[in-house]
Amino acid sequence: MYVLVKNHPVVPCRKLRDYLPEALKVLTILLILGLSVFPGRSAAQSELQYADGSGRMSYPTLPKLSALEMNAAKLQRKITVDFDNVPLAGALSQIAAQADLKVSLGHGLLDGTDPVTLHAEDVTVLQALQETLRGSGLWLQISPTGYLILIPYTDNVTKAQEAATVEEQLLPQHQVSGTVTSAADGQPLPGVNVVVQGTATGAATGIDGEYSLVAPSPNDTLIFSFIGYIVQEVPIAGRSVVDVALVPDTQELDEVVVIGFGEKTRRLMTESIGTVSTDEIRKLPVASPDQAIQGRISGVQVTNVSGLPGSPVAVRIRGVGTVGNTQPLYVIDGVPVGRGGGEHSNPLASINPADIESISVLKDASAAATYGMQAANGVVLITTRRGQMGKPTITFDSYAGIQQFPQLWEMLSTEELLKLDQVARDNYNKQMNLEPGSPSYLTQHPDLSDPVLRARDNSQEWIDAAANKNAPIQNYNLSVSGATDRLNYFVSAGYFNQEAIIKHWTLDRYSFRANSDYQVTDWFKLGQTFSLSHEYMDRGVNAGGDGFLLNNAAEMPPFFQIYDENNEIPGNRYGFHGNLDVAGIVRGNQVGMNEIVWNHNYDTRVLGGLNALITLPYGFSYESRAAIDYGIGKSYDWRPPFTAAELGFDRNTPEFNDTRTDALGQNFFNALRFDNTFGGHSLNVLAGVEVIKGQDSRLNVGGQNFLSLNPNFFMVVRNVETKQIRGNMGEWGSVGYITRVSYDYNEKYLLTATIRRDGSYRFSPEGGRRWGTFPSISAAWRISEEPFFNFPAVSELKLRGSWGQLGNDETAWFPHVFRLSVIPDYGSGETTKQAPSPVSFVNKDVTWETVETTDFGVDVSLFNNKLDILATYYNRLTKDFLIGIPLPRITGFSRTSVNAGTVLNRGVELEANYNFNIGQAFFDVGANLTTVYNELVEIAPGISEYSSGNYRTAVGYPIGYFFGYKTDGFYNTAEEAAQAPLEPSRSHRPQPGDVRFLDINRPKTEEDNLPEEVLWVEGEPDGQLTPEDRTMLGKTIPGYFYGLNLNGYWKGFDLSLFFQGVGDVQIYNEHAAGHMGGTEGYLNKLKESMDYWTPENKDAKNPRPVATDPNGNNRFSDRWIENGDFLRLKSLQIGWTLPQSITTSTVQRARVYLSMTNLFTITPYSGLDPEVMTYGSAGSQTNAGTDQGNVPQPRTFQVGVQLQF
Amino acid sequence: MNRFIKTIAAPLLLVLTLTSCEGVLDQAPLGELDSGTYYQNEEHFEAAILSPYSTLLNFTYEQFGTGWFAGFLMPDDDVRNPRGSNSEEEFTWTPSNGHFSYIWNESYKGIMRANVILDRLPAAQNFADESRKAVYEGEAKFMRAYFNFVLARNFGNVPIVRELIQSVADSRLGNSEPGEIWDFIEEDLERAIATLPEDWNESNKGRATRYSALALLGKVRLFRAQWFNDNSKYAQAKAAFDQIVNSGKFRLMEDYGDNFRIETENNAESLFEVQMTRGDFNPWLAVDHESNEGAAGSGRKIYMGAACDEGNCAPGANAFGYGQVHITTSLQSEFEPGDPRVYHTFYTDGDVYCEEGGGDGCPAIFSSLWSVTGATPSKYIRPFEPKGNPNNITTNNERIIRYADVLLMLAECELFTGNTQRAVDLINQVRTRARNNYEIVYGEPAPDGLLPPVQVGSQQEVFKALMHERRVELALEVVRYDDLVRWHRAGLINIKTDVDFGNPIAQANWQERHLLKPIPQGELDINPNLRQNPGY
């Protein structure tokens, strides 16, 4: 045990004057002060200000109080208006302000309107709006997000609102009523416009979604329109009740998108941001939020490391710009919670996906710039749900299902394996000229001549014993939510349970959330989020989360027995007596050990915070937030004693480890905002500071040899012979100053500029390495708003572009400090003494890496928003990229972090969405495609290209490409083999049936006249096979990836299909390399191993079997590199929403569904699953793409029910 | 009041928050020492000086013989692998050989640890006794020389890391000039000899002494004489060895077995040994591994313990002994009949393998059927106990240089500088002790004529006797292949024709290139200035 020492001196807070030299911060402060002290506008102008900003931006911490029901209720609020010749825009804004609504003024619509004079007391907001707009030729619609949107009468909408205050229409001919609901979730939709086609007759739905109107004729057609939904035309066809479900328009321009430190409507966006909505998340039952974005957003590639519960997920946004940690930053409700996807587990798995309102992925520099030095790999913003206006809503969601292996390996039978082994030995003895009797002559173990043994074939049984067939998965969620005009709340509780498709691996997650907001006074709002989750994992031998039990069980000698009735381990029927010393094999019974070994992990996480918003005069507001991310973990690892006789493997020392961890991250954010409009000029400014600090610690208590194996003894580590106590801790911190200015002119010309200055604790304080400044700018031009633009088919055409720089500080901590460990120790005399020794190479020069992103795009909406197309070109250049390079071991160290060069990622993102209907069947088809071109453009002086295992990184190639020998079939004759290039380090020449490795390079000569650093001439053989003949064999970053969505609704039925795929990528099938082809040995191999070279079978898959592999046939080569393209039906779901005639009055809505995931995969890849990420490499691409036989993504069948009360 | 809050207080608050503590950025690693706080005073160096030594543990800790045993012992003609194949044994050496790269890596790690001491020592303050600095310098230089000698004799003209490498650019060192590293080793050892103490007290036993350095220096010079056919080095080597002999501090232990027993570590015959003090560690992990604190034991017991052959198994086979090392028939027959040193070298038919209470299957008599050659090692292992906790590790120190080795090396120097008489006398000192051990081992006086003294004869005859004596006295002490290589280089023997490896494949595969090991390919892949040894 050693003492924790905090070595750094306490640094007192610095004073303001210390910052004076730092121009940026001063500017920020001046800007804030200047704006505060000198509002610079007349009193008349100030009357025009909007209560809550112009609506172009609001605050992420300010929840959306203004969902549908609430908005409708706001229209009923009683207000007093007092207008005397006030411009229409001002009048509307003032009414909206009193109603806590936002106004989106259509462009040019207010030109030429008359000022308003109106005095009214105690009227409803709706009445006030009606009176104000009377005679203007305009009407307002209310969007689900709380915007009042101006619409001309002549549009395809209604005059009906006004008609209500005028007297009702004459000559009623056909009374129609009904309920309008959302097809996505069955919720009633208030405020939907219903008009009779070709007339001015219409109505709007109420809070319960009901409408009622009188149509001129029973043969008329009703038009239902609502912001955010697709316009629907429904013939009355003589009915008196017409119920309609509207289909959401996912690419709606007025969709509010969560951005860094704010919100923005999609129409005003200048940045590249992809989103996934709550509807989509709730449809696909996923275990963690990062899985919810898989295949949904262009530019975002998501790869599951394995199909096991809680396994890490690799997320790559627009390629790989760093050789270090490539995971994006995750921000939950405004609080950065780090890079998701740990090496061996997934921290995001603690977030209940059902609590998520939306996910935004910030892809370009402009979008992510507010996160500065943490944002280089993109940012994923997760916003959790808030209560919506209306009476309390109780929802209950549940699903249950089973998971299966999509496929399993086929292994050799005992007979096949022993035959292969014998052939390999025969070939070896022959090649080495060995005679029987020589101690080097290879023979099969004498035990294997036993006919009983040879007849025993458990190859399939071993796999079956490791697999958990029809592993259950279940999920329950209950939530209560609601809101009044001053308070909203959302409370939820969930339970999730998943067993792995291998034995002894279960995940339980309990989650609880309470979010609320309270409008204390008209200028002060207080909000709160709180979530608590508890995750429990129960595992056996796969404590590290690797899932290699399956692999280990599959390769057990097939003549070994799995079970033994006479087993000595109490309560365990697995045993090994029947196998002990059979064939001289030392091999633990993996299946048995998995049963008796414990690895219990408990992780509890609290994430929560308070935020306050103070509305100030002149369009200013002040926001303050404090949040924590607190996690505690506990793990119990217990390994009971067992002997070789019991399990084939001797570990007679019982061992118990109790490890406790805790981590507290604190986040403080303070900002001043300004939001105002001057004529057509809208300005939105954010100036803030974010301070993050945290600490973590770990304490481990372990013991060996207990007096009793009763858990009461070892769980408290007492009565133990050998005790061990260890611990460590860390602290971190960062400071960021953020300034963002957004400007638009008439919502036509849009501009956003952001700058963040960040300091990271990781780097040396010397030489400015600690602080970085990250600027960005983006602009957009909505051509479709120009007067000259006159293409009715095109409803929206926007050009946008951005440029900016982001940082990445993810590297080894404290590279500038020479760290010592007390771990190595040495005996002198009879005692052991700690011998502090350096554990890190010092590189003081390390600093952040800079990603420079340029982005151009076009957004097009066609045919009344039926077809939306989004196309973006991106170019990301990572400069000074941080890399842990392998150091020559002569330094005494294996690697260090350096800023090592420039990486380019370039590509195109395409998204298209099309809505159409065939009668009452509505369809929504979406597709996205992303291309990635990745190349190391330059490498810093003093660092050359380098290999690390089977991967190489070199200029002109993608990061971490496969580097090895090329092959060309086999040597078929002795003559051919004699011609083989000489391989100096091998003692044996190739024989017929051996792999033909290609000699492709030669050393340079004087005549070549090549630069000094070039040592080899490529493409010219020299007759020698050397390591210099290795070459590029493939890459791990896909050239493209795509997703395809199809949603259909018909009456109460819905169907959704979701495909996902990648292309232009290679996989190193290490599992095949280790389990195919013939060397001697009794560990089982893949079935294809029997297809080996003989003089009669020259087209075989594998070379001749030969013991010890003297030609290195199984060495890393293109034999093991496979095409990793795939197209997968990720999910298929069929749902049915029960008609309200069936559901009772207490149950507002009931939906049942059947969901299937990973139904089929089309791929040329021969392994179990082409979705491959090297185990332990989720965070880094430098050694990704190796298939070690991970557990594949399970095929699941689930049934679910969603109820709402 | 509201107005005040709105217009003044809130902006002021923001300004205040902007001046928040940037102190959160001033962090340092916790729970660790770092260069800012360590290497300051004598106490620090007293602890840190052990870190180069601790690297020694890594060579031999491992149950699969990684590094030391697989890389150095296997290639020689005293042992062979069990049935199957072994690339170190059979000279199918490739640049990707993990055992060789392990030796490379650990040697340079030890050099780094020594260089840190040398780098930080001059600036350190607060030494009660400034002369202590010289001692630390001597220890660091001794350890650096030791590791450089490992590198030089295995990998040839390797890069010389003269001081701590502190930048990536400086890490691309190329091969050294021929002979350069040998000069460097000698310089270090000469400085160590000048500064190291003659002795350490009980609580510091095991640290390098002046005599450890003299023994290593003599050995280095002897190697140089033969590697480079530089006869002047014999006399220099002799000078170093003679200082040890003349000091009178060392003697051959009466009981040959004391050199291999845990109870008699650091005895009067020992010049330097690796201090193994703890066995309660996880043998599956390297000692430098985070969760494996503690000076390790040796993996020799499990690696070399008998296992099975053709289904005939020793007690606790595979769990307590992996049977990876078998005594070649050529070594078995090298021993003169009745030589009691056999007892502490290998088990063979009829030996007591383990005794009552030794564990499952005990007592047991050794059976030659357990081994592919009929004999497995007993040195350091006897009495074999196929039990214990942990069951496969021994904390028995690994002896690096002992006095018998010094005497035989001195004999070689005398022989090749023309003093045949003294050479014979020195050899006979070793033989006499061996003869006297007959009674210790077998409980009865040695039969007449056992291990008769070597007679003065021609240089060739005495050299033959010397080769024989080194082989049997020092068998399994990981010096044999080095001996063969230096004698081959000196033209005294021809490995290809004179050595019986006990393995036809090894015999067929051995070539001149195997005098050196291949430089690890991973090292060549990242260091453009480094060249592979010839023939690989």
Cα-trace Rg, chain A: 34
Which of A832, A890, A939, A1015 should be substituted to probe chain B, the one whose Cβ sees the most B Cβ atoms within 10 Å?
A890
- Identify the pLDDT of residue A149: 64
- Identify the pLDDT of residue A582: 66
- Identify the pLDDT of residue A72: 60
Q: Is the pLDDT of residue B20 over 70?
A: no
Chain B residues touching residue A831 (CB < 8 angstroms):
203, 277
Per-residue pLDDT tens over the stretch A68-77: 445 566 777 7
- Highest average pLDDT, of A365-374, A1002-1011, B401-410, comes from B401-410
Angstroms from A736 CA to nearest CA on chain B: 10
Q: Which amino acid makes up residue A500?
A: A
Same domain, B322 and B338: yes
Q: CB distance B504–A440 less than 8 Å?
A: yes
Q: CB distance A770–B25 less than 8 Å?
A: yes
Question: What mean pLDDT comes out for the span A602-619?
Answer: 90
In-domain check, residue B412: no
Residues B444 and B438: their CA atoms lie apart, in Å, by 7
Find out whether A654 and A706 touch, Cβ atoms under 8 Å: yes
- Highest average pLDDT, of A325-329, A784-788, B31-35, comes from A784-788
Split at pLDDT 50, 70, 90, the class of B293 is very low
Residue in chain A closest to B101 (alpha carbons) equals A889
In-domain check, residue B100: yes
Q: CB distance A1015–B20 less than 8 Å?
A: no
Same domain, B363 and B290: no
Same domain, B124 and B15: yes
Split at pLDDT 50, 70, 90, the class of A644 is low
Q: Domain containing B506 — which CATH number?
A: 1.25.40.390
Q: What global pTM score does this model have?
A: 0.79
Of B91, B109, B390, the CB nearest to A987: B91
Q: CB distance B28–A814 less than 8 Å?
A: yes
Split at pLDDT 50, 70, 90, the class of B427 is very high
Residues A1137 and A403: their CA atoms lie apart, in Å, by 25
Q: CB distance A826–B295 less than 8 Å?
A: yes
Question: What mean pLDDT comes out for the span A684-689?
Answer: 92
Split at pLDDT 50, 70, 90, the class of B32 is low
Q: What is the DSSP letter of A813?
A: S
Q: Is the pLDDT of residue B311 over 50?
A: yes
Find out whether A189 and A227 touch, Cβ atoms under 8 Å: no
Q: Is the pLDDT of residue A1060 over 50?
A: yes
Question: What mean pLDDT comes out for the span A84-106?
Answer: 74
Same domain, B309 and B184: no
Angstroms from A780 CA to nearest CA on chain B: 32
Q: CB distance B525–A1027 less than 8 Å?
A: yes
Residues B68 and B55: their CA atoms lie apart, in Å, by 12
Q: How many CB atoms lie within 10 A of CB A489?
A: 18
Per-residue pLDDT tens over the stretch A436-445: 988 889 988 8
Same domain, B171 and B305: no
Peptide bond into B383 cis (omega under 30): yes
- Identify the pLDDT of residue B418: 93
Longest Cα–Cα distance in chain B: 116
Residues 6+ apart with CB under 8 A from A451: none
Chain B residues touching residue A829 (CB < 8 angstroms):
202-206
Tracing tokens 């004498």 back to the chain, one arrives at A446
Q: CB distance B389–A652 less than 8 Å?
A: yes
Q: Is the pLDDT of residue A45 over 60?
A: no
More confident of the two residues A409 and A831:
A409
- Identify the pLDDT of residue A719: 67
Residues A1017 and A1011: their CA atoms lie apart, in Å, by 11
Which of A525, A825, A943, A989 should be substituted to probe chain B, the one whose Cβ sees the most B Cβ atoms within 10 Å?
A825
Q: Is the pLDDT of residue A725 over 90?
A: no
Angstroms from A255 CA to nearest CA on chain B: 32
Per-residue pLDDT tens over the stretch A1181-1193: 777 888 988 889 9
Q: CB distance B391–A652 less than 8 Å?
A: yes
Q: Is the pLDDT of residue A981 over 70?
A: yes
Per-residue pLDDT tens over the stretch B150-201: 999 999 999 999 999 988 888 889 999 999 999 999 999 999 999 999 999 8
Residue in chain B closest to A1080 (alpha carbons) equals B84
Q: CB distance A1015–B528 less than 8 Å?
A: yes
User: Of A762-766, A811-815, A1128-1132, B280-284, which range is least confident?
Assistant: B280-284
Pairing state of beta strands A390-404 and A1195-1204?
antiparallel
Pairing state of beta strands A174-182 and A244-246?
parallel
Of B202, B287, B535, the CB nearest to A984: B535
Same domain, B42 and B170: yes
Of B28, B390, B522, the CB nearest to A8: B28
Residues A388 and A487: their CA atoms lie apart, in Å, by 10
In-domain check, residue B492: yes
Per-residue pLDDT tens over the stretch A930-975: 999 999 988 877 677 777 788 888 889 998 899 999 999 999 999 9
Residue in chain A closest to B521 (alpha carbons) equals A1027
- Identify the pLDDT of residue A372: 85
Chain B residues touching residue A626 (CB < 8 angstroms):
none
Chain B residues touching residue A434 (CB < 8 angstroms):
504-505
More confident of the two residues A820 and A166:
A820
- Identify the pLDDT of residue A184: 67
Of A617, A887, A1110, the CB nearest to B6: A617
**Of the residues B344, B364, B379, which one is the last residue of a structural domain?**
B379
Question: What mean pLDDT comes out for the span A911-919?
Answer: 86
Chain B residues touching residue A447 (CB < 8 angstroms):
311
Q: CB distance B51–A835 less than 8 Å?
A: yes
Q: How distant, in Å, are the alpha carbons of A125, A148, A464, B291 from that of A649? A: 79, 73, 21, 22
Residues A267 and B493: their CA atoms lie apart, in Å, by 88
More confident of the two residues B342 and A704:
B342
Q: Taking CB atoms and an 8 Å cut-off, how many pairs form between chains A and B?
A: 383
Query: What's the distance, Cα to Cα, between the start and end of chain A in Å?
Result: 57
Same domain, B374 and B485: no
Q: CB distance A947–B525 less than 8 Å?
A: yes
Q: CB distance B503–A440 less than 8 Å?
A: yes
Angstroms from B262 CA to nearest CA on chain A: 11
- Highest average pLDDT, of A365-369, A794-798, B492-496, comes from B492-496
Q: Is the pLDDT of residue B435 over 80?
A: yes
User: Of A117-121, A1194-1198, B95-99, which range is least confident?
Assistant: A117-121
- Identify the pLDDT of residue A157: 42
User: Of A37-41, A239-243, B298-302, B422-426, which range is least confident?
Assistant: A37-41
User: Of A243-247, B26-30, B286-290, which range is least confident?
Assistant: B286-290
Write out the residue range of the structural domain in which residue B352 sits.
300-379
Same domain, B374 and B495: no
Of B30, B38, B207, the CB nearest to A731: B30
- Identify the pLDDT of residue A1143: 67
Pairing state of beta strands A895-899 and A901-918?
unpaired
Q: Which two tokens stand for residue A983?
A: 């391989």
In-domain check, residue B233: no
Find out whether B140 and B52 touch, Cβ atoms under 8 Å: yes
* Percentage above 90 pLDDT, chain A: 30
Find out whether B325 and A591 touch, Cβ atoms under 8 Å: no
Chain B residues touching residue A671 (CB < 8 angstroms):
14
**Across all residues in chain A, what is the average pLDDT?**
80
**Of the residues B320, B351, B379, which one is the last residue of a structural domain?**
B379
Same domain, B285 and B322: no
Of A821, A825, A1110, the CB nearest to B294: A825
Residues A1032 and A935: their CA atoms lie apart, in Å, by 13
Chain A residues touching residue B526 (CB < 8 angstroms):
885-888, 944, 946-947
More confident of the two residues B486 and A1010:
B486
Q: Is the pLDDT of residue A166 over 60?
A: no
More confident of the two residues A198 and B515:
B515
In-domain check, residue B216: no
Question: What mean pLDDT comes out for the span B226-233?
Answer: 95
Angstroms from B245 CA to nearest CA on chain A: 25
User: Of A200-209, A213-222, B346-355, B358-367, which range is least confident?
Assistant: A200-209
Same domain, B118 and B154: yes
Find out whether B365 and B350 touch, Cβ atoms under 8 Å: yes
Question: What mean pLDDT comes out for the span A43-49?
Answer: 31
Residue from A715, A60, A693 nearest A331 by CA: A60
In-domain check, residue B9: yes
Residue from A1032, A910, A1024 nearest A966 by CA: A1032
In-domain check, residue B354: yes
Same domain, B30 and B115: yes
Chain B residues touching residue A986 (CB < 8 angstroms):
92, 94
- Identify the pLDDT of residue A589: 79
Residue in chain A closest to B284 (alpha carbons) equals A651
Same domain, B293 and B311: no
Residue in chain A closest to B93 (alpha carbons) equals A985
Of B21, B203, B526, the CB nearest to A888: B526
Q: CB distance B35–A728 less than 8 Å?
A: no
- Identify the pLDDT of residue A740: 93
- CA A1195 remoteness from chain centre: 20
In-domain check, residue B390: no
Q: Is the pLDDT of residue A632 over 80?
A: yes
Q: How distant, in Å, are the alpha carbons of A465, A502, A599, A714, B318 from that of A595? A: 11, 11, 11, 18, 23
Q: How distant, in Å, are the alpha carbons of A260, A518, A1006, A1025, A1134 from that of A271? A: 11, 31, 55, 52, 35
- Identify the pLDDT of residue A577: 47
Residues A928 and A871: their CA atoms lie apart, in Å, by 10
- CA A646 remoteness from chain centre: 44
**Of the residues B326, B351, B379, which one is the last residue of a structural domain?**
B379
The count of domains in chain B is 2
Residues B62 and B108: their CA atoms lie apart, in Å, by 19
Q: Is the pLDDT of residue A851 over 80?
A: yes
Per-residue pLDDT tens over the stretch A742-801: 999 988 899 999 999 988 887 777 777 888 899 999 999 999 888 888 888 888 899 999
Find out whether A857 and A907 touch, Cβ atoms under 8 Å: no
Residues 6+ apart with CB under 8 A from A432: A440, B504, B505, B508
Split at pLDDT 50, 70, 90, the class of B422 is very high
- Identify the pLDDT of residue A218: 80
- Identify the pLDDT of residue B147: 98
Q: CB distance B10–A813 less than 8 Å?
A: no
Of B29, B50, B509, the CB nearest to A813: B29
User: Of A633-637, A1059-1063, A1136-1140, which range is least confident?
Assistant: A1136-1140
- H-type helices in A997-1136, by residue range? 1070-1075
Per-residue pLDDT tens over the stretch B39-58: 888 989 988 898 899 888 88
- Identify the pLDDT of residue A777: 94
More confident of the two residues B426 and A182:
B426
